[in-house]
Each structure stands twice: as C-alpha cells, then as structure tokens.
Amino acid sequence: MTRDQAPVIGRLVSEIEDIMARREAYFLANRIDSMVTYRSRRAAGQADDGHGDVFLVIDGWAVLRSDFDQLENRIQAIATRGLGFGIHVIASAGRWADLRQPVKDVLGTRFELRLGDPTDSVFDRRMAAQVPEGRPGRGLDVGKHNALTALPRIDNDPSPQSLGDGVTDALTRIADAWTGTAAPKLKLLPNKVSLEDLRVKCGNEPGLMIDVEERHFDCLRFNPAQDSHLVVFGDQQSGKTTFLRSLSRELLRTASPDEVQVFQVDVRRSLLGEIPDTYLAAYMATRDDASEMMNGLAGHLKGRLPSRDVTPEQLRTHSWWKGPAIWVLVDDYDLVATQSGNPLVVLQPYLAQAADVGLHLVVTRRSGGAARQAYDPVLQSLTELGATGIMLSGSPDETPVYSGVKFQRSVPGRAQIISRDLGRLTAQLAWSGPTTA
C-alpha cells in the first residue's frame, strides 16, 4: 500500500488492532500465558485464532508522520503491546530523528545502513562514517559490527537492477510451495452501503441504524435513549443530506407518529417530501419560518421541564409529561445560523435536559470554517455535552473541529465517528436515495 491509499492504510491499522484485542481475549479464555505457548499449541493443532505471527511493515516512517499523523500514536500502541501477542512492527526511516523517542524505545532490534550524516548514528559515529557509500546493503548492527544485508530473492541473480523481478519470483515460489491455510485477506469497507442492505445485515436490534464500522464490520446504531444529539460536518456532496434522509427513514421504521414528531429546517429544500405529514410537525425552508417555529417549540419544551411537584418515581420514568419525542433536523446549519441571528439559539437552554423534555437535535454543517463557528452557543453546547460527532469528507487543511481528529478526503458517506463511549471509529454511512413521486 502506498501513501495515496489512505483508507486502506487506516483499515489495515484497525485490523491489526482488532487482531490484538481478539488475541488478548483468546489467550485469556484458553489460559495461554505467552506467544511461546501459543506457537507450540498451534503447531500441535491445539490452538488457533486464525492468525500466526503478524508483521506490520512501514517503509518510510517520516511519510507516515507527515501524511498520517493520526495513525502514529495507534501504531506506537501496537508496537508497545503487540509483541506479547505476536504482532511485530518493522519500520524504516531516513534518520533516527524521524522516530519519536517512545517509538524508538520499543523497537528492540535495530540496524543502520549508510546515513546521510554519520553524526546521527545511535551506535557509533566513527564507525558509521566508515560505512562505504555506493554499496547498498552495507551498514552496522547494534553491536557496532559491519554487516551486509541479503537481497530478498532466491533466483541466484545478484544484480540489484532486476531486484523487482527477483522479489516477484520469490513471492510466487513461496506462495506455490505453501500448502497450509492462506492468510485472511484484508476486508475493506464498501464505498456504498444501502440502508436496505444494512437493515438485512443488522436485523431488528434496538436503535437507529446509521452505518457499518470498519473495525469489526458491525452495524453501528444511534440509541436515542443514551445519546440525544448528533452533529455532522462535511464538504458538499459528502453525504450530509443523505445521512438525514436515512436517519429520517429509520425514525419512521422504529416509531409511530404518536411517539415521534419531526421539525425539519431545510433551507435548500433537499429533503422536501421525505417525511410524511403524520410525522412532520413543521417544515421550515426560511430562517424567518424557523425563528417563529423554534420560539414556539421552546415554549412547549419549557412546559415539559419538571416542576417542584414532580415525584422521584416520575423523575425516574420521565412520566410527568405525555407526548411524542421531538426531533429537530437541521440541514446546512451554516445557512441557518448566520451573523444576523440564529433561530435555534432558543433551544440551547434545553439541550442539557434533552432526556427530560424529549428533545433530539441533529444538525449538519459544511466543513469549511466549522472551527470558526465553535463559539456558536448551540454547537458549543453540543460539544460540551459530548454529542456524537460525524466528520465526512473535508479538507485536511481545515482546523480540526475535534481535538486530534483532522478532516480527510474520502468517498461520499465515509465518516469518522467521534463518540463519547466508543471513541473514534471509521464507518460508511447508510445510503438511501431521494423519494420519488
């Protein structure tokens, strides 16, 4: 894999993390104390988790740090814990300074080829200066001895000019000679998964099905009983409106009109006609309509706040008021909340008590300039409350909305999910087409 295959590289790291987690659980369940025990039992046919020793090979650590800086800490964690579970990290770098000290400390086996500046040597500067130039493969080992690495070929041809053909030949002959079970192929997220296919895959478990995540290829659900709000960021054509369409259809599937009523703010009219009248409390296509309707909704929510007469039992069961849950779906929030005013700001006092008043707010916003709007009272409250965030395709040059998580260029629907409970996940959001007349 090369640097232009960012989704594949991220998926590869996730797969190794998953192997490590599953192997840790497997060792515990089968009373395996070490990789030595596992290897001997596996050779005897007494244990097998589907993998032998796993090697993660990184050629060019400096490129990883510059282009995939979010993966560095994850790979460092793999290198730190992985050896005890048979997971090995092999890395090359142009100079030792490219490796942070915590990474360098966990790389137990080291080898130096000819360095651009011999004074960078961590073995012996004087010996490093004596490594001849123009002699590929010559270098120093950790004992300060001169060493020569072997060409990765078995065709008796020592020419470095035909090395590519030699490596291909060696791999082909090794594969042909192997009679055991082939290594599992790396599974990749699909570039598109329909909501109907996701429903078939996930079954009828509770929650709103929104995507399939890449670590375990499980369905990811949004549980309104645990998380009240969602925030979605992304460029144009990245899948923001499609997400709201799929979420709306999941609401229709899982609840009756008596249980759910939807207030829809849709300035671009992209979702017009998506929600039946029986579920639709109000459809707002202008900021003036949204301002009037949100003021009325805020008054209604105020009446749902618990009074001093509410009993402890009513507080536990949320039974001091009756009525449907209120879902406010806002597409293109940046067109709704402008310098001239924000119609949704009247809902901000009720966001923290959303579970008590039956309020759910879902907003989508373009990624451009999203960080500058972090001081918007509504978005700020959602962030402070730990609302689940979804980052679709966006420019990596944008200031991160969430600490340590940059936007990435990706296919429509490919998202980074930032969850209070699950951490950060990569997923493919469910796709559903527009309603046709």
CA distance 214 to 190: 10
Tell the residue number behind the tokens 């499609």, with chain if given. Answer: 242
Does the pLDDT at position 225 exceed 70?
yes
Rounded to whole angstroms, the Cα distance separating 211 from 428 reads 5
Q: What is the mean pLDDT of residues 12-29?
A: 93
Angle, CA of 406, 411 and 417, to the nearest 5° = 45
Tokens encoding 159:
């020419």
Asked if residue 418 lies in contact with residue 389, where contact means CB atoms within 8 angstroms, the answer is yes
Contact criterion met (CB below 8 Å) for 151 and 161: no
pLDDT digits (tens, 9 = 90+) for 86-122: 999 999 999 998 998 888 888 889 999 999 899 999 9
Does residue 270 surpass a pLDDT of 70?
A: yes
Of the listed ranges 204-213, 218-227, 407-416, the least confidently predicted one is: 204-213
Q: Is the pLDDT of residue 170 over 80?
A: yes
How many Cα atoms within 13 Å fall on the side-chain side of residue 294? 26
Distance, CA of 250 to CA of 270 (rounded, Å): 18
DSSP H helices, 206-254, are 240-254
Pairing of strands 414-419, 388-391: antiparallel
- Quickly count: other Cβ atoms within 10 Å of residue 25's Cβ: 11
CA–CA distance, 249 with 229 (Å, rounded to integer): 17
What mean pLDDT comes out for the span 383-388?
92
The pLDDT of residue 1: 64
Give the pair of three-digit tokens for residue 26: 């497997």
Beta bridge partners of 55: 88
Which residue is listed with tokens 């046919």? 45
Residue 33 near residue 84 (C-beta atoms within 8 A):
no
Give, in order, the Cα–Cα distances in Å from 409 to each of 105, 189, 214, 354.
33, 15, 17, 33
Residue 188 has pLDDT above 90, yes or no: no
- Does 437 have pLDDT greater than 60? no
Which of 113-129 are b and which e, b meaning 16 or more Cβ less than 10 Å from the residue's Cβ?
bbbeebeebebeeeebe
What's the pLDDT at 180? 82
Highest mean pLDDT among 1-10, 339-348, 368-377: 339-348
Greater model confidence, 159 or 25: 25
Q: How much is the pLDDT for 71?
A: 87
Report pLDDT for 432. 92
pLDDT 10s digits, 326-370: 999 999 999 999 888 899 999 999 999 999 999 999 999 999 888
CATH of domain 6-177: 3.40.50.300
Asked if 86 and 23 count as a contact pair (C-beta separation under 8 A), the reply is yes
pLDDT tops 80 at residue 290: yes
Q: Report the percent of the chain where pLDDT is more than 90.
A: 60
Arithmetic mean of pLDDT, 146-152 = 90
Sequence-distant contacts of 21-25: CB under 8 A, at least 24 apart: 22/49, 23/49, 23/51, 23/85, 23/86, 23/87, 24/85
- Tell me the CATH number of domain 193-431, given options 3.40.50.1970, 3.30.420.40, 2.102.10.10, 3.40.50.300: 3.40.50.300
Cβ pair 398, 416 in contact under 8 A: no
User: Per residue in 190-222, pLDDT tens?
Assistant: 999 999 999 888 877 778 888 888 888 888 889
3-state secondary structure 338-402: ECCECHHHHHHHHHCCHHHHCEEEEEEEECCCCHHHCCCHHHHHHHHCCCEEEECCCCCCCCCCE
- Average pLDDT of the chain? 90
Residue 242: pLDDT band with limits 50, 70, 90 = very high
What's the whole-model pTM score?
Answer: 0.83
Which residues pair with residue 44 across a beta bridge?
none
Half-sphere exposure of 429 (CA within 13 A, CB side): 30
**436 falls in which pLDDT band (50, 70, 90)?**
low
Q: Could you check whether 6-177 and 193-431 share the same CATH topology?
A: yes
pLDDT digits (tens, 9 = 90+) for 39-75: 999 999 999 998 899 999 999 999 888 888 778 889 9
Of 54, 94, 96, residue with least CA distance to 78: 54
Domain parsing of the chain, residue ranges: 6-177, 193-431
